Amino acid sequence: MTAEQDEDPRTGPVPVLNIERIYSTTVPADKLARALADHFRAQEFEAQVFRTSGDRTVTQARKESLWRTLLGVAYALTVVFTPGEGRLSIGLGAPAQAGQ
């Protein structure tokens, strides 16, 4: 975990945390992505799973409601699963980043 200091002109230094966790699994990326989508669907979210370039699998989930729209939190959550040499990276990102 690393902590860096950003400067907010109104309030001063703002701590920023970067957290990386490493887990071991033999479950394929597409199976994890589908399981995550099923979890979101059970919570009444709309969810989709699709493949992108670089052998990545993406799960997107969102739930629409008047309150979410009014509060500005009606965005989709995007989780990108990227297999590598003996590892699987999982990242959170904006929908526009999923296709990169």
Share of the chain above pLDDT 70, in %: 76
Long-range contacts of 8-14 (CB under 8 A, 24+ apart): none
**Residue 8, domain member (yes or no):** no
Tell me the C-alpha distance between 17 and 4, whole Å: 7
**Residue 41, domain member (yes or no):** yes
**Residue 7, domain member (yes or no):** no
Q: How many domains does the chain have?
A: 1
**Residue 14, domain member (yes or no):** no
Determine the residue type at 50.
Answer: F
**Residue 20, domain member (yes or no):** no
- Tens of pLDDT along 13-38? 766 666 777 777 788 899 999 999 99
**Residue 18, domain member (yes or no):** no
* E strand intervals along the chain: 2-8, 12-18, 46-52, 56-62, 77-84, 87-93
Residue range(s) defining the domain that contains residue 42: 25-97
**Residue 15, domain member (yes or no):** no
